[in-house]
Every structure is written in C-alpha cells, then in structure tokens.
C-alpha cells in the first residue's frame, strides 16, 4: 500500500496552525498548568477540546510525563466522534503531519494488530481523517518529550464493553514501563456549570477506583439523573473503559486526579449555561525495589556504571573500580537480581543476568554489563567501534514469588522462572511485550526454548514470577 500521510484536521481551529504560534501557546499553557506531582507515570487521561477551553488541563496531565525518558512507543487512544465500527481503527497508511513536522507512526505494529486480531482492529482511514481526539494530544507530546518517539494511533469505534475488554487484553502486554498510554476524553457535555461540577466529580471518582464495573454503573447513574442539557458524562468512555480493563486488579497501579476545569472557566468564553468538563488524570505505578522509588539519580548511576564497565573492558581489558558500598544509596547496595541487555540499533547484542545476587546491586550491574558485552555465547565479543552505537537496558528484579495458578501472570508486568528436574528458564517481562505472545506462548517458549522441558513442561514445573524496574539509556 502506498504511504498516505495523515494531514491535520483541526489545525487553526482547535490549536494554532502556525508552528511559532503553537509553540508560544504551549509555553503559555504549561506556565498556567499544575506542577509535576508524580513519578512512574504509565498513562495520562487528557481532554481533547480546543486549547482555549481545555489546554491548561491537558498541560497539567502532560506535566506528569517524564520528558527525559526514551519511550519505545506512545499509544494514543480516543473514541470515535464520526465513524462507527466494530472494534477499533489503527492508522496504517503513514505518519501524522503536524504544523511543527512529522510524527512517526509505528505502521508495522498497527498492521500486525490488524493481521493478528482482524475482529478487533481495522484499517479504516475514515475513522482518523476528521478525528480530533488524537491530533490535539500531539503538540503536548512534542513540547514535553526530549527524545524521538513513535505513536500507535487507535480510534475506538465500538460501544460494546465486551469488545473494549478484548481490545484491552491485546494491548495489555504493551502497558509496561517502556511505553506511554495517552487516553483522550472530555467529561460532561452541556449541562449548566454547577451540575457539571457534580457529574464530573462522580465520574472522576469512579475512574479513580480502577474498576470498569464501577465506571459503567456511574455512567448509568448519571444518565438516570436526567440532568438538563447533559448528553454524556464522558465522551471518551470506551477509551477510558479500555484503560481500566488493562489496569484493573493490579494493585501497583494508582489513578491520580490532577486538575479540573470546564469550559465555563475559560475567560473569553465564560458561558456557564452549556459547559463541557475536563479532567487531567495520571496512572502511576509503585516501584518494586525496597517498596520505594528508585530516583532518577540512582537510575543514572547504574547506567553510568554499566556503560563505563563495558568501555573499560573493551578498550583496556581492565575491570572498572566502582568504589565502596558506603558511597552508594541503600537501594544500590541491596542484594537483588539484575539483567543487563544490550542493543545495537533495534537488534539484540547481548543479554546476561542473575535472578539473585550475593553482591550489591551496583557491583552486579557492573559484572553483568561486561558479561553481556563479551560473554554472551550467542554473539561475538563487542568491538570498540560498536561502543558508540550501544543502547543499554537494565532490569532490576524483585524477589521471586512462586505461584500455583498461571492466571496470576500479567503479561508485560511479570517475568517468569520455570523450573523442573534441575532445569530452569527465564523470561523478562518485556519478552511478552516485544513478541506479542499469548500467556500460553509465553510459558511454552520459556519451557521449551529456555528450560529444555518441552512445550508443555511448564504444566508440571514450579513457576515463579517477578517484576522489574526497567532502566534504559
């Protein structure tokens, strides 16, 4: 299929069409937005109205995003305003054109979703052509993120909660620290100001409970109130519902309300008789290491140790001296398992780690980085000319937890250790995301390819799960 870039539908309407004017407006919106309050943000819910109405609320949402992080993908999900379809439409025709330049689309992943799940994902250009809900999020991403990124644009066209749940099951492996989810939705439409405050608070409180059933019940209750002018209390309800189907039941995810306004608060258009509501909400994930956060400085320190260790061994053959335990924060002195994975471009270049350790974490990272560079028997030892092209990923492991029911495994969140008859195999959580495997495939490949137990060997093996804090640079 010939590439067909998606041209802006609402530039000059919802936001400035001039790059300079748009950048100027972005600075103004973020200046008036709520501050960054949360770390480990995995998703944000952001409004999609004209910036004069909802721009500062959207900026408050995007202020929670780690702008310095190099995301693998940005999943942008909105509910269709123009086209009804069974399932969701992904954009496979090309990239998104914006006033400031081109936003790259992960066309390959979009096509793979259609091929693997044709009952859920469609190649329907019409659903994207005039849709504003995704487009208006892009300038905020452009303003906040400092590294290149690709987007996965998804328009949900169904109104069937059961279909939303199936879409969520497919997307769940991608809901991991390497990716960011942006959910586009406004709240109440066209009640008077005070009624909007009441309805939007109830809807927000339902979302914060991270329970799809509670949200659906709340929306039904709002409708039964017969509030004058209220045509919907959540225009992107299918998108938010899909997010809740991804996150529900996972106690490590917490929904945080950040900012609220409605169109009646807009200084130049302060009509309080027929308003639209806007909430900014973030989804955060609790850190698994020591039950505490690993700070950006601690993450950077581990990356620096890994990089300098590889460089020292490749260039001089000398083991890097990393100092004494007293020089490091407590979390870096913990005896935790860790894996170091090396990429050259997008291709794997080495990966070695340990499930547990009798030495401090900072020392283990040094040793595993060198091992991944020089002693992974799948690859030739790293050469000095490759150092400049190397990307380092570090996965710090939580303690192993044995499970009795494989239904407890959450793809993209849990890594697994399969063990039987003195043999064992390990998959990190990101394997499920990178491959798109089902749970049975995840277990089968680990059992057969890693542990040598055969495809169904996991059924009689001991199975352990773990989580990771993923660091990349």
Residue 290 confidence class, pLDDT cut points 50, 70, 90: very low
State in Å, rounded, how far the first CA of the chain is from the last one.
35
Using the predicted structure, report yes or no on whether residue 218 has a pLDDT greater than 90. yes
Contacts of 225 (CB under 8 A, 6+ apart): 199
Q: Which of 154, 125, 164, 351 is nearest to 244 (CA)?
A: 164
Q: Distances from the Cα of 192 to the Cαs of 56, 233, 234, 274, in angstroms? A: 21, 13, 15, 5
Query: To which H or E segment does residue 179 belong?
Result: strand 179-184
Distance CA 264, CA 251 (A): 36
Using the predicted structure, report yes or no on whether residue 69 has a pLDDT greater than 90. no
Distance CA 304, CA 340 (A): 13
Select the highest-mean-pLDDT range: 83-87, 233-237, 287-291.
Answer: 233-237
Distance CA 413, CA 439 (A): 12
CATH placement of domain 19-286:
3.40.830.10
- Which class in CATH covers the domain with range 400-473? alpha beta
Contact 374, 318 (CB under 8 A): no
Query: Look-up: residue for tokens 């109405």?
Result: 53
> What are the sequence ranges of the domains in the chain?
19-286, 290-396, 400-473
Q: Which two tokens stand for residue 16?
A: 């400035």
Q: Distances from the Cα of 223 to the Cαs of 124, 213, 262, 300, 359, in angstroms? A: 31, 16, 19, 49, 59
pLDDT at 287: 55
Contact 257, 208 (CB under 8 A): yes
Q: Do domains 19-286 and 290-396 have the same CATH topology?
A: no
- Which class in CATH covers the domain with range 290-396? alpha beta
Q: How confident is the model over 362-390, as a mean pLDDT?
A: 95
Q: pLDDT > 90: what percent of the chain? A: 81
Contact 171, 242 (CB under 8 A): yes
- What number of CA atoms fall less than 13 Å from residue 132's CA on the CB side? 16
């Amino acid at each position: 299929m010939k590439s067909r870039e998606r041209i802006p539908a609402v530039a000059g309407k919802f936001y400035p069409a001039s790059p300079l004017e748009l950048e100027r407006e972005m600075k103004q919106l973020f200046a008036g937005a709520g501050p960054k309050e949360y770390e480990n943000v995995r998703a944000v819910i952001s409004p999609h109205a004209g910036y004069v109405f909802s721009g500062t609320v959207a900026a408050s949402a995007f202020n929670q995003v780690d702008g310095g992080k190099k995301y693998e993908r940005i999943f942008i999900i909105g509910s269709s305003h123009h086209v009804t379809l069974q399932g969701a439409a992904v954009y496979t025709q090309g990239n998104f054109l914006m006033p400031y330049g081109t936003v790259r689309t992960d066309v390959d992943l979009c096509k793979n979703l259609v091929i693997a799940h044709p009952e859920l994902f469609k190649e329907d250009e019409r659903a994207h052509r005039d849709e504003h809900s995704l487009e208006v999020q892009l300038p905020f991403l452009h303003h906040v993120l400092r590294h290149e990124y690709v987007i996965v644009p998804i328009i949900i066209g169904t109104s069937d909660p059961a279909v939303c749940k199936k879409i969520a099951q497919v997307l769940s492996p991608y809901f991991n620290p390497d990716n960011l989810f942006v959910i586009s939705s406004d709240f109440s439409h066209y009640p008077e100001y005070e009624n909007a405050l009441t309805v939007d608070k109830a809807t927000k409180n339902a979302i914060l409970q991270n329970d799809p059933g509670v949200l659906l019940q709340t929306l039904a209750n709002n409708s039964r109130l017969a509030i004058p002018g209220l045509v919907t209390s959540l225009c992107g309800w299918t998108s938010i519902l899909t997010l809740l189907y991804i996150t529900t039941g996972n106690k490590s995810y917490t929904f945080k309300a950040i900012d609220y306004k409605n169109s009646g608060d807009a200084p130049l258009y302060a009509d309080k008789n027929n308003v639209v509501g806007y909430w900014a909400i973030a989804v955060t994930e609790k850190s698994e290491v020591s039950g505490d956060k690993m700070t950006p400085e601690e993450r950077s320190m581990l990356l620096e140790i890994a990089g300098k260790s590889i460089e020292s061994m490749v260039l001089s053959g000398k083991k890097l001296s990393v100092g004494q335990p007293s020089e490091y924060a407590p979390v870096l002195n913990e005896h935790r398992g860790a894996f170091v994975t090396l990429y050259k471009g997008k291709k794997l270049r080495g990966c070695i780690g340990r499930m547990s350790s009798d030495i401090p974490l900072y020392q283990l990272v040094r040793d595993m980085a060198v091992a991944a560079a020089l002693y992974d028997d799948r690859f030739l030892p790293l050469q000095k000319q490759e150092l400049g092209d190397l990307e380092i990923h570090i996965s710090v492991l939580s303690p192993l937890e044995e499970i009795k029911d494989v239904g407890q495994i959450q793809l993209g969140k849990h890594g697994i250790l399969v063990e039987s008859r003195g043999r064992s195999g390990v998959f990190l959580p990101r394997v499920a995301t990178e491959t798109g495997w089902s749970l049975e495939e995840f277990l089968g490949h680990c059992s057969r390819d890693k542990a040598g137990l055969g495809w169904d060997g996991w059924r009689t093996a001991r199975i352990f799960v773990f989580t990771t804090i993923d660091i990349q640079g």
